[in-house]
């Protein structure tokens, strides 16, 4: 029987998003997870994968011959920062795609992109480094997602939509064709985005309108 060669990878993060990424890697048949890196994990293992320690162990992991990493952190700014740090250390950040996802051959996935189960990345879509296309999200033709953007589960982005760097499109949202959502935006859960959104905004509702931000936000 033909033996599939697996590649070793370290997972940065040990929370809820990491759990889903671990399972994705386990079902992929491509990856052998050597461990998790998290400075304050809830336990000493997640889904049977041991926590190796905090970020300080990464150079030793690399020296041990593990040169691939996935940054499995839900926070967009943190994911960007730790992704760049891992790359600077010398890690390769492969794009990780669930076997049930549909990724167009004419689309492009940047370093460290994660595409979850049943997601669709459409024709000539461009997903930048460290972005997340979460479970069942549909990004149709010519979509652009910026660095460390996150399109949450069940979103539907029509053609030619642009999502800025570090922007979260909240779970179950829909976005009209051609709409440009700026950087560092939060689109609330279940929104319908029908017009362009400026950088740094928090919007929500149907149709989406600016939301009140907390004093500390």
Containing H/E element for 108? strand 108-109
Nearer to ligand ACO, 41 or 204 (CB): 204
- Is the bond leading into 152 cis (omega within 30 degrees of zero)? no
How near is the Cβ of 107 to ligand ACO at its closest, in Å? 21
Residues that bind ligand ACO (CB under 6 A): 134, 152-153, 170-171, 186, 188-191, 202, 204-205, 211-212, 214
Nearer to ligand ACO, 12 or 186 (CB): 186
Distance separating alpha carbons of residues 40 and 35, to the nearest angstrom: 15
Distance separating alpha carbons of residues 9 and 50, to the nearest angstrom: 13
How near is the Cβ of 176 to ligand ACO at its closest, in Å? 17
| Residues with a known catalytic role | 141
Nearer to ligand ACO, 110 or 190 (CB): 190
Distances 175 to 24, 81, 119, 202 between C-alpha atoms, Å: 27, 27, 16, 15
Nearest residue relative to ligand ACO (C-beta)? 188
How near is the Cβ of 215 to ligand ACO at its closest, in Å? 11
């Amino acid at each position: 029987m033909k033996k599939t060669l697996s590649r070793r990878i370290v997972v940065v993060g040990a929370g809820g998003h990491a759990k889903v990424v671990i399972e994705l890697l386990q079902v992929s048949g491509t990856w052998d997870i050597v461990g998790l890196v998290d400075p304050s994990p809830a336990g000493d293992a997640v889904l049977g994968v041991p926590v190796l320690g905090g970020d300080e162990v990464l150079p030793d992991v690399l020296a041990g011959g593990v040169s691939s990493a996935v940054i499995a952190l839900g926070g967009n700014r943190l994911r960007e920062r730790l992704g760049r740090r891992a790359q600077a250390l010398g890690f390769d950040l492969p794009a990780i795609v669930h076997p049930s996802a549909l990724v167009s051959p004419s689309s492009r996935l940047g370093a460290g992109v994660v595409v979850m189960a049943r997601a669709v990345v459409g024709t000539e879509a461009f997903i930048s480094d460290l972005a997340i296309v979460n479970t069942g999200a549909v990004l149709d033709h010519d979509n652009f997602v910026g660095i460390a953007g996150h399109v949450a589960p069940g979103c539907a982005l029509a053609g030619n939509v642009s999502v800025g760097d570090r922007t979260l499109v909240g779970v179950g949202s829909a976005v009209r064709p051609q709409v440009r959502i700026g950087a560092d935006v939060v689109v609330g859960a279940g929104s319908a985005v029908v017009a362009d959104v400026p950088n740094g905004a928090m919007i929500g509702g149907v149709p989406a309108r600016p939301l009140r931000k907390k004093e500390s936000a």
